[in-house]
Amino acid sequence: MSTPYWVAGKPRTSDSPVTVRSPYDAAVTGVTSNATAADIEEAVAAAAACRDEVAALPAHVRADALDHVSRRLAERFDEVAALITAESGKPITWARTEVSRAIGTFRWGAEEARRFSGTVQRLDTEPGSEDRVALVRQVPRGPVLGITPFNFPVNLVAHKLAPAIAAGCPVIIKPAPATPLSALLLGELLSETDLPAGSWSVLPMTNEQIAGLVGDPRLPVISFTGSDAVGWRINDANPRKHVLLELGGNAPVLLCPDWTDVEGAAARVAAFGTHQAGQSCVSVQRVYAHTDVYDAFVPALVRHVRELGTGDPASPETHVGPLINADAARRVTDWVTDAVARGANLRTGGPREGNALAPIVLTDVPADCAVVTEEVFGPVVVVVRVESVDEAIALANSSRYGLQAGVFTHDLRVAAYATAKLQVGGVVIGDVPTYRADQMPYGGIKDSGVGREGVYSAMLDLTEPKVMVLTEFVA
């Protein structure tokens, strides 16, 4: 039976089937279908038609809908986690973590919907503005096209849906072709709410269909999470739209000479340079280890990486699952092979079985190798010896990406200095850059994108200020 997609809140199927298979063993996870041209037009027309209605929707209606989705995710926790694992190959432990985060993301959306109230400014700070105040409120920019990736098929869809609904924007979700079923399940949960029918749609599409849709003037906001090549192409082709981009990274870690728990740092880097096969924008990719700790850190990292469980993602013992497809596995293998051919030292890992790679640690890598300069999006960690914190910062900043960085230091002065100097959107002190709380501003600079996720921050991006000046107002 084909899983329906959602057109303006209504279930539909088409005669363009999409079979979803596990990246681990190619078992069929489920079947859905791509939306028809007529269904896409209906969804866009409905979103545009209900723009004012959704903007005026009382906060309690928006909040109640988001609370409902949060509760229903909790009730169907095991089912949703198993679906994530089946269609994306994400190990079940990390799938469970993702569902927990999505529950929180929708809950945060409900809370922010209730308190998104604007500000009051006094205007009597300048002569001629006595007895005036300004009420500044954030008003919706209009319908949003949300384009989501495969690596967090529930929570990154939640990060499009929750802020849009909370802010009063109709939203159309285009899920990743490899992982549409999780997004469609969220559509099922939204269909149980009292939201207006045209306020949301979830539509699997072909590349040709989405290419035509991004330029539609009825969708003034595009929120894209995915590759930088595609993201910037969307941005450049739509200069009059409000485009939000959460793109790639090759997250650096600075291991400073004062860090006493080198073993603990190695364990964290091993875990979060390889979890879900490194398919995270903030997966640890580059470690700049000070020479005072380098010789202790590298063997500890290699040992911890070798201890990680690999294999069937449905097993709770598996830490590193498969990459999303054979093309991704081949690309990562080719990049590692190239680095080794050019003098890199392969400390551990590398053998490939199907779409899975044994997690890899590299040292002595030439600085212009792809595993250093590009986003690997695979279970690869590169370790570089540095002589100073300043050298580590300079090397970290040499990347065209700037999403998040981690700094292992006990020195508050070093923490403040590194945070000021690192060209990234976020710095995590005392841990890996993979840490993310779903309520905090999350995003990057340079080729890592523009705008911020995190429910409140995204709501600000999806809205714009509107000012009402009250005259002869006596406070």
Active-site residue set: 246, 281
Burial letters for 144-153: b for 16+ Cβ neighbours within 10 Å, e otherwise? bbbbbbbbbb
> What whole-number distance in Å separates Cα of residue 188 and Cα of residue 183?
9
**Beta-bridge partner residues of 122:** 133
> What whole-number distance in Å separates Cα of residue 470 and Cα of residue 133?
5
Q: Which helix (H) or strand (E) holds 441?
A: none
DSSP letter, residue 453: B
With contact defined as beta carbons under 8 Å apart, do 365 and 371 qualify? yes
Backbone angles phi, psi at 338, to 5 degrees: -65, -45
Question: Torsion angle, CA of 109/111/115/118, rounded to 10 degrees?
Answer: -20
Tokens of 23: 């990246």
Residue 233, CB-side half-sphere exposure with 13 Å CA sphere:
8
One-letter amino acid for residue 227 of the chain: S
> What whole-number distance in Å separates Cα of residue 259 and Cα of residue 262?
7
